[in-house]
Amino acid sequence: MLDYDIIALITAIATTFLTIPLYIVYDKKMKKKPFRLVKHLDIGQVTDVIIPPTISKKYDELNIKNIQLLYRKQVKKFLETLEKIVPKEYLQNFYNNINEIKFKPSFVKHLTIASAAGGYAPEINVIEFKAEEFFRVINHELLHMASATHFPQPNPDSEQNYLSGFVQFSDMGEIGRGFNEGYTVHLDHKYFSHQKHEPKGYKILGGIAKLFESIVGEQDMMKFYFTANLNGLYNLLCNYIPGNNIYQFLTDCDFIYSYGYGQNLIHPDFVARMKSIISFLITLAYSKLCITNDSEKENKIATFVNMIFNSISYDEIKQPIINAEEIKEAIITGEMFAEQMKSQTL
Ligand SMILES: [Zn+2]
């Protein structure tokens, strides 16, 4: 059971962040935009699709002559950084895609493939960007490219099936986009240490991905991201937490991706999703600590809770997204899951 001191400590941390009362403004945009996702983690059900993806070997290395002259320097710099950090075996998607990449600067207001400053379209292997935003977005888009792979076409009519980092999508729907954007933002900051102005939702998702990585570990996250293996990550997490909770976490992140802007940040639906995400992270962290018999588990979970408040505090909400009671509940759930998992493996 939990030590009373730890509960007191966590309560103290949570109440430190209690300042102004929640002020609700209803943003109509939130209602207009449909939010529909298809549970797609078991994409393996699609006939003939192989999960984890079999990554073909089209190219072994970067041939700089294949890159449009204007972008060679940037691509080289990106690869030099990546090769220092990421094991070569995880870079097959990078080599496959980079030698056939097309860069398309856009000088008009609206891009064809992205409404933001830049975008990567894996189905056509094109990076499109607003010309003036090139240096701000290029590494982020190259990370998407380096983690994207097609999977074998289940039938000739479905051309949209692909995997990119932690997002899976096909004609049937998609899952993981929010978590994938968050992790891409996090890697961009970590590898290329940019001080950039991300859209609010991306910034929040970046914080969530950073916390998530601190539980799972950098090496495994790197492996699953660059080999576009969401299923691999899912299976690893299933050692600590039930699959439905993982699915809920991913769809919550997709919700933040769709609605994480403006007045929505204080909308009750948004706050509920944030609570759900944070509870998930605490439960996962504590379950893993219990399963691995970590003797420091109570101190470590208190540190983790503290880290949450430092990573995902956003100016619009000056009160905790999650209260002490909910934190306690998430920890107890983690302990319960750990017991269940242990008894299953006996
Ligand atoms: Zn992106």
Say yes or no to pLDDT of 157 above 90.
Answer: no
In degrees and rounded to multiples of 5, residue 128 shows phi and psi of: -115, 145
Place 11 in a pLDDT band, splitting at 50, 70 and 90.
Answer: low
Q: What is the pLDDT of residue 222?
A: 97
Q: What is the pLDDT of residue 141?
A: 95
Report which residue type is found at 33.
K
Query: What is the distance in A from the centroid of ligand 1 to the CA of 273?
Result: 21
Q: Collapsing DSSP states into helix, strand and coil, what is residue 170?
A: strand
The domain spans of the chain are: 43-262
User: CA separation (Å) from 17 to 85, 237, 244, 300, 322?
Assistant: 36, 30, 30, 20, 10
Give ∠ CA 164-168-171 in degrees, rounded to 5. 120
Query: What is the distance in A from the centroid of ligand 1 to the CA of 164?
Result: 10
Query: What is the distance in A from the centroid of ligand 1 to the CA of 184?
Result: 7
Q: What is the pLDDT of residue 144?
A: 96
Structure tokens at 130: 């607003």
Query: What is the distance in A from the centroid of ligand 1 to the CA of 139?
Result: 10
pTM value is 0.84
Residues 108-156: tens digit of each pLDDT: 555 555 456 888 988 788 999 988 888 889 999 999 999 998 654 444 5
- Give buried/exposed letters for 257-289 (b at 16+ CB in 10 A, else e): bbbbbebbbbbeebbebbbbbbbbbbbbbbbbb
Residues 14-66: tens digit of each pLDDT: 544 443 333 334 444 454 444 444 444 444 443 334 456 678 888 999 999 99
